[in-house]
Amino acid sequence: MRLPANTPRPPAPEAASVDAPDLTVLRAADAWLASGMPVWLATVIETYGSAPRPVGAMAALNGHGHVVGSVSGGCVEDELIDWLRRDAAACTSGRLMVYGADAEERARLRLPCQGRLSVWLEPACPTLLATCLSRLNAGQLVCRRLDIPGGRWTCSAPGATMSSHLSEGVFQHVMGPVHRLVLIGASDVSRYLAPMAMSLGFQVEVVDPRAEYRSTWPHQQCQLWAEMPDDVLAMRPPDTRTAVIALSHDPKLDDLALMEALKSDAMYVGAMGSLRTTAARKSRLLMFDVTPDALHRLRGPVGLDIGARTPPEIAVAIAADLVKTMRSNAAVTFAATSQSDTNSVFILAASGR
């Protein structure tokens, strides 16, 4: 089949704004297939140098030349569309495409210095999409094991230490939420931070025993807990892929959560409040047998110092600090042992900074 060169592009299937990239791409591909359009999946399987997107990044392309997702940020996607317009019939079981092989091509595709990436292009398989989406829609991890020479694949639940990589002709592609965010409280900052975190691949849980806050929580994808924060964290202890953030300014909620979080393996423990509030909180926690070493892990005031004042700005500052922490501690974060398929982050109630 040839892609039409000048056919108007239909709008992409509408996806929830809080979907993680993997889920957005696969849902778009599934919707396009259901409508009868031919669809291809492109996946970055290997990079060298300053590649624009990491291993595992995906894009879906349909028969009208429309794209959801990204393997490079634009130029490589255009190359893939042009290739499919000419040679889609040659991509029956999959094809390996390498971009940035020389300086001229890197300049043409606007790839970073010495950047090179290998992309696996394949016709979207309904069975593969159904298998992956069944787990991703449930907030679970899934690992696709792809035999590049043969184009064959299998899917399974990944082990705790698995990550996306290419080895000896086999690409192991881990998809789904790899971190857990626990927010204590269902107030303003939490409402802005939760969708940001979900779009970054977090599974978000919100802990708030106050019915008046839970009753107006807008994000159905989050798990809501009505129990006290210390009971929830004791029942589901944070691990090295979990962040716990106290946002309520209510010591009855914040302190109980922080006492549990600081004695756990949580990768990130933060609390909202001014410098004076933070100092008072630390003094209280020391009285409750939190050790100075454990207290040193507390991030307060939580978030990067960008001068944030409003709830959306504070949420941006916290989300940026979470990304910074994940990237700087990637080796620890992605190799952590977990008791479940997914990780979550709890949001503590936010009534101000």
Last residue within a domain, chosen from 135, 154, 175: 175
How far is residue 160's CA from residue 266's CA, in Å, rounded to a whole number? 16
How far is residue 78's CA from residue 130's CA, in Å, rounded to a whole number? 27
Is 14 inside any structural domain? Answer: no
Mean pLDDT of 4-31: 63
Domain count, the chain: 2
How far is residue 26's CA from residue 128's CA, in Å, rounded to a whole number? 10
Instruction: Clarify whether residues 312 and 202 are in a common domain.
Output: yes
Measured in Å, how far apart are the chain's first and last C-alpha atoms? 57
Report residue 317: phi and psi, to 5°: -60, -40
Instruction: Clarify whether residues 165 and 188 are in a common domain.
Output: no
Last residue within a domain, chosen from 134, 159, 175: 175
Instruction: Clarify whether residues 91 and 161 are in a common domain.
Output: yes
Instruction: Clarify whether residues 274 and 300 are in a common domain.
Output: yes
Instruction: Clarify whether residues 98 and 200 are in a common domain.
Output: no
Instruction: Clarify whether residues 291 and 206 are in a common domain.
Output: yes
pLDDT band with cut points at 50, 70 and 90 for residue 152 = confident
Is 73 inside any structural domain? Answer: yes
Is 291 inside any structural domain? Answer: yes
Is 1 inside any structural domain? Answer: no
Instruction: Clarify whether residues 204 and 123 are in a common domain.
Output: no
Whether the pLDDT of residue 136 is over 50: the answer is yes
Mean pLDDT of 6-15: 40
pLDDT tens for 217-226 read 999 889 999 9
pLDDT tens for 159-209 read 766 788 999 999 999 888 778 999 999 989 999 999 999 888 888 999 999
DSSP, collapsed to helix, strand or coil, labels residue 47 as strand
- The domain that holds 219 is classified in CATH as 3.40.50.720
Instruction: Clarify whether residues 131 and 48 are in a common domain.
Output: yes
Whether the pLDDT of residue 149 is over 80: the answer is yes
Instruction: Clarify whether residues 189 and 323 are in a common domain.
Output: yes
Is 261 inside any structural domain? Answer: yes
Instruction: Clarify whether residues 162 and 309 are in a common domain.
Output: no
How far is residue 261's CA from residue 236's CA, in Å, rounded to a whole number? 11
Is 247 inside any structural domain? Answer: yes
Instruction: Clarify whether residues 126 and 192 are in a common domain.
Output: no
Instruction: Clarify whether residues 227 and 311 are in a common domain.
Output: yes
Is 3 inside any structural domain? Answer: no
pTM: predicted TM-score of the whole model, two decimal places: 0.68
Cβ contact 45:54 at 8 Å: no
Domain span including residue 208: 179-348
Is 10 inside any structural domain? Answer: no
CA dihedral 72, 74, 75, 78 (to 10 degrees): 120
Cβ contact 79:3 at 8 Å: no
pLDDT band with cut points at 50, 70 and 90 for residue 344 = very low
How far is residue 274's CA from residue 149's CA, in Å, rounded to a whole number? 57
How far is residue 318's CA from residue 305's CA, in Å, rounded to a whole number? 9
Whether the pLDDT of residue 18 is over 70: the answer is no
Least confident stretch, 33-47, 79-93, 281-295, 306-320: 79-93
Bond preceding residue 301 cis, omega within 30 of 0: yes
Last residue within a domain, chosen from 175, 199, 215: 175
